[in-house]
């Protein structure tokens, strides 16, 4: 998993999807060849600040597709 640590900023700045979490967090999703990388983070637009809560990879994002979609890459 550490091999993807440098992908965090790319996933947040250029995701394929952004979903809204239950407690105000955002979930940025980036597709790779055989899996998806998901970064869970919070941001404060007034302070122009934010932080990563966690990140993980998954082969299935069906459960995420049930969440509120904030943004999608065209």
Full pLDDT tens readout for the chain, 74 residues: 556 666 788 899 999 999 999 999 999 999 998 999 999 999 988 888 999 999 999 999 999 999 999 999 98
DSSP 67: S
Q: Look up residue 45 and give its DSSP letter.
A: T
Q: What is the pLDDT of residue 45?
A: 84
pTM as predicted: 0.88
Residue 36 belongs to what domain range?
2-72
Tell me how many domains the chain contains.
1
Contact 16, 72 (CB under 8 A): yes
28 with 18: CB under 8 angstroms? Answer: yes
């Amino acid at each position: 998993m550490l091999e993807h640590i440098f992908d965090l900023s790319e996933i947040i700045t250029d995701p394929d999807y952004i979903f809204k979490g239950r407690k105000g967090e955002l979930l940025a999703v980036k597709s790779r060849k055989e899996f998806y990388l998901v970064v869970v983070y919070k941001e404060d637009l007034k302070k122009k600040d934010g932080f990563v809560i966690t990140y993980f990879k998954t082969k299935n994002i069906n459960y995420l597709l049930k969440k509120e979609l904030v943004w999608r890459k065209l």
